[in-house]
């Protein structure tokens, strides 16, 4: 029996030989077809063409300040940070500062007086802790109640594109160059960042013979710049049925 007819006989009867044949057919037929389809979706000209793109990259958070203050009821604590304080780290991450973030944590220091007359001390009244961030013309703010924590993010690049990048979504009907431009803050991301943290204290419902006191709250925070290191690539759609 010849080698060819021997192989044909094996294909008829042996599972390994059958898998080998299917594999050869897949690589010789399916792959060139798939890449031809994919290539046809890239119109031309690299990133200048309007089409489908994906953004590859990651947001790196670099701490500017890890601090905190006791803030009295009705007061605000204002301070300024500058990108120069972490210039080396920012440059190492690619230098594209796209936003600012503050994460605040706080407990409750409300006190109950008149012990031991007070037998129904009641419950704490939640204080409101607010934070606002400013960089140039961009501002963002957010409140939280104690005990707990909250985060305020401020971005000065296109947030819709940033969200798509973080989700790995395909971005359509834009050129790659436009996407890149709208995610690149350039030097505008650097400079001063103004931060303001405020507390409005509340006292809870003291029972008969009790008194409650709340003068403010200790608020701790971490302030970070957000650096986006990214690249834009055409989205190559490979037909999964091939
Ligand atoms: Ca309180
Ligand atoms: Ca308090």
Looking at residue 1, its pLDDT comes to 54
Looking at residue 129, its pLDDT comes to 98
Q: Which residues 6+ apart lie within 8 Å of 8 measured at CB?
A: none
206 C-alpha to ligand 2 centroid (Å): 15
173 C-alpha to ligand 2 centroid (Å): 51
214 by Cβ neighbours in 10 Å (0-12 / 13-18 / 19+) ranks as buried
Looking at residue 15, its pLDDT comes to 75
Looking at residue 35, its pLDDT comes to 56
Phi, psi of 197 (to 5 degrees): -120, 130
Ligand of minimum distance to the alpha carbon of 204: 1
Helix (H, G, I), strand (E, B) or coil at 80: strand
Q: How far is it, in rounded angstroms, from Cα 36 to Cα 206?
A: 75
Looking at residue 6, its pLDDT comes to 75
Looking at residue 23, its pLDDT comes to 65
Looking at residue 209, its pLDDT comes to 85
68 C-alpha to ligand 1 centroid (Å): 18
Q: How far is it, in rounded angstroms, from Cα 224 to Cα 195?
A: 11
Looking at residue 38, its pLDDT comes to 55
Phi-psi region of 203 (alpha: psi -120 to 50; beta: other; left: phi over 0): beta
Looking at residue 34, its pLDDT comes to 59
Q: Nearest CA to 192 among 79, 93, 76?
A: 79
Looking at residue 85, its pLDDT comes to 97
CA distances from 42 to 53, 55, 166 (A): 10, 16, 23
- Domain segments of the chain as ranges: 3-40, 47-234
81 C-alpha to ligand 1 centroid (Å): 29
Q: Nearest CA to 64 among 157, 195, 158, 187?
A: 195
- For the chain (242 residues), the mean pLDDT of every run of 10, in chain order, is 68 73 65 55 67 95 98 98 98 97 98 82 95 98 98 98 95 96 97 98 90 96 98 87 74
Ligand of minimum distance to the alpha carbon of 216: 2
Rg (CA), the chain: 30
First-residue to last-residue Cα distance in the chain: 36
Looking at residue 24, its pLDDT comes to 67
């Amino acid at each position: 029996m010849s080698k060819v007819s021997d192989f044909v006989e094996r294909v008829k009867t042996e599972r390994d030989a059958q898998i080998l044949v299917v594999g050869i057919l897949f690589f010789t037929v399916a792959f060139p077809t798939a890449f031809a389809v994919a290539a046809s979706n890239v119109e031309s000209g690299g990133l200048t063409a309007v089409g489908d793109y994906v953004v590859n990259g990651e947001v790196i958070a670099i701490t500017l300040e890890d601090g905190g203050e006791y803030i009295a009821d009705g007061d605000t604590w204002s301070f300024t940070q500058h990108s120069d304080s972490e210039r080396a780290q920012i440059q190492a991450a690619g230098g594209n500062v796209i936003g600012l973030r503050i994460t605040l944590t706080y407990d409750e220091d409300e006190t109950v007086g008149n012990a031991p007359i007070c037998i129904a001390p009641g419950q704490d009244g939640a204080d409101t802790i607010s934070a606002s961030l400013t960089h140039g013309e961009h501002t963002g703010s957010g409140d939280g109640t104690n005990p707990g924590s909250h985060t305020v993010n401020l971005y000065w690049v296109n947030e819709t594109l940033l969200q798509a990048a973080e989700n790995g979504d395909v971005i359509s009907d834009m050129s790659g160059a436009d996407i890149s431009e709208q995610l690149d803050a350039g030097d505008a991301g650097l400079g001063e960042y103004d931060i303001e943290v405020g507390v409005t204290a509340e006292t809870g419902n003291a029972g008969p013979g009790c008194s409650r006191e709340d003068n403010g709250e200790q608020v701790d925070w971490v302030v970070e710049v957000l650096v986006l290191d990214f690249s834009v690539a055409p989205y190559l759609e490979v037909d999964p049925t091939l």
